[in-house]
Amino acid sequence: MTGTEGTGGEIWALRERVVIRGLKHRELDEADRIMRLAFGTYLKAPNPIEVFGDADWVHTRHKADPSAAFCAELDGEVVGSNFATRWGSFGFFGPLTVRPDLWDGGIASRLMEPIMQLFEQWGVRHAGLFTFPESPKHVGLYQKFGFWPQGLNPVLARELVAPGTRPAIETFSTARVAGSGDRVLAQCRQVASTIYDGLDLTREILVLDEQGLGETVLIASADGLEGFAVCHCGAGSEAGSGACFVKFGAVLPGQGAERRFERLLDACEALAARHSLARVVAGMNTERHAAYQALLARGYRAMLNGLTMLRPNEPAYNRPDIYAIDDLR
Ligand SMILES: CC(C)(COP(=O)(O)OP(=O)(O)OC[C@H]1O[C@@H](n2cnc3c(N)ncnc32)[C@H](O)[C@@H]1OP(=O)(O)O)[C@@H](O)C(=O)NCCC(=O)NCCS
């Protein structure tokens, strides 16, 4: 680990030598390798490169929005990357990674620059991230950019007792095929906006559908859509083999929200069963106390504890009466 290196007798700080620019398609495999190596090294995995198995973030996020994918280049080599995602009036970034032999040289801080510019350009009201609560370095790094801790964010999982059964569920892809995709997208925007003004998962739903990464499940009543969940399924998605990963889910707040949330979880678990996936994974900020308790009561157990940090230092949709699932990893 070194923050400075000798070059032709001069000592140049890495943070000045590094070039920050858009990540190109042909560089994705190297960016992906570094992402796995960096996390595996931090987590002290026996074989760091294997840390995430067959789950994917780098290729899928680049494909989703190449203009929001950045890399750090040093002496002609990719040495780190960072990705921004926009959910309407809310944005987040990650995975942010730097090649381990170059840590503590200011490269991650440089990789934050285009991300902060994008958030400004997009006009998001809140921007966030998921990080490791036990790491003073991680928390300190993000605080430099105005992100502040908002409470513990466990990632919980439930092993399904009988994967393989296939109860009926409504999905976005079925609606699209039936010609009502646009109407469903508008309804999803309405539901999301009830928990946070301007929250818009349209892009996330479309990317999932177009890339074949999973399904968005829908729950409705005679009055219309009451909730939806964007679920990654299995290998090559953000879930990885054997898992159904709820990247975002929300139901209408207010009276009956608890029941609606249970129905949404029923739908996510039914989707997992349909795809023969043994596990449902869901991230939950503990400030959403009622929803957190509902997951625990249903048998979900924390796999890891993360920390959500937000800019500015306000709760956004992390409030006790909000029934939402999200994962900013
Ligand atoms: C996290 C990671 C991206 C950081 O990359 P990096 O290039 O080493 O980070 P930088 O050197 O730009 O910045 C680290 C900052 O943390 C600060 N820092 C370190 N320890 C600190 C502490 N105890 N308290 C406060 N700040 C601290 C440093 O001072 C530095 O800021 P400075 O440059 O203003 O001095 C890199 O370590 C990595 O890839 N880790 C594995 C993957 C990972 O955890 N990614 C992030 C997931 S949220």
Ligand 1: nearest atom to the Cα of 42: 41
User: Which of 124, 144, 175 is the last residue in one of the domains?
Assistant: 124
Flag whether 138 is in a domain.
no
User: Reduced to 3 DSSP states, what percent helix, strand and coil does the chain have, rounded to the nearest 5?
Assistant: 35, 35, 30
**CA 104 to ligand 1 centroid distance, Å:** 6
The pLDDT averaged over each successive group of 10 residues in the chain (329 residues) is 46 88 98 98 97 97 97 98 98 98 97 98 98 98 98 96 73 98 98 98 98 98 97 98 98 98 97 95 98 98 98 98 97
One domain for residues 243 and 321: yes
One domain for residues 306 and 166: yes
One domain for residues 179 and 319: yes
Give the phi and the psi of residue 280 in degrees, each rounded to 5. -110, 130
What residue's CA is closest to ligand 1, atom 14?
Answer: 141
pTM of the model: 0.95
**CA 193 to ligand 1 centroid distance, Å:** 34
User: What distances in angstroms separate CA 82 from CA 55, 129, 152, 171, 239, one per listed residue?
Assistant: 17, 12, 23, 31, 19
One domain for residues 227 and 90: no
- Residue among 18, 71, 85, 104 to mutate when testing ligand 1 (max atoms within 8 A of CB): 104
Contact at 8 Å (CB) between 300 and 158?
Answer: yes
Contact at 8 Å (CB) between 329 and 306?
Answer: yes
Flag whether 162 is in a domain.
yes
Q: Which helix (H) or strand (E) holds 220?
A: strand 214-221
Does residue 39 have its Cβ closer than 6 Å to ligand 1?
A: yes
One domain for residues 53 and 187: no
Does residue 136 have its Cβ closer than 6 Å to ligand 1?
A: yes
One domain for residues 190 and 299: yes
Ligand 1: nearest atom to the Cα of 112: 12
Contact at 8 Å (CB) between 211 and 60?
Answer: yes
Does residue 87 have its Cβ closer than 6 Å to ligand 1?
A: no
Q: What residue spans of the chain are helical by DSSP H?
A: 14-17, 28-42, 58-64, 107-111, 113-122, 136-143, 172-177, 181-195, 202-211, 257-274, 289-297
Task: Using DSSP, state whether 201 is helix, strand or coil.
Answer: coil
User: Which of 124, 149, 174 is the last residue in one of the domains?
Assistant: 124
pLDDT at position 9, please?
A: 39
Structure tokens at 88: 């309407």
Ligand 1: nearest atom to the Cα of 98: 39
User: Which of 83, 108, 124 is the last residue in one of the domains?
Assistant: 124
pLDDT at position 168, please?
A: 86
pLDDT at position 165, please?
A: 57
Structure tokens at 282: 């869901």
One domain for residues 113 and 172: no
One domain for residues 174 and 275: yes
> Nearest-5° angle of CA 305, CA 321, CA 304?
10
Ligand 1: nearest atom to the Cα of 38: 41
| Number of compact structural domains in the chain | 2
User: What distances in angstroms separate CA 135 from CA 42, 141, 306, one per listed residue?
Assistant: 10, 10, 10
pLDDT at position 163, please?
A: 53
Contact at 8 Å (CB) between 175 and 184?
Answer: yes
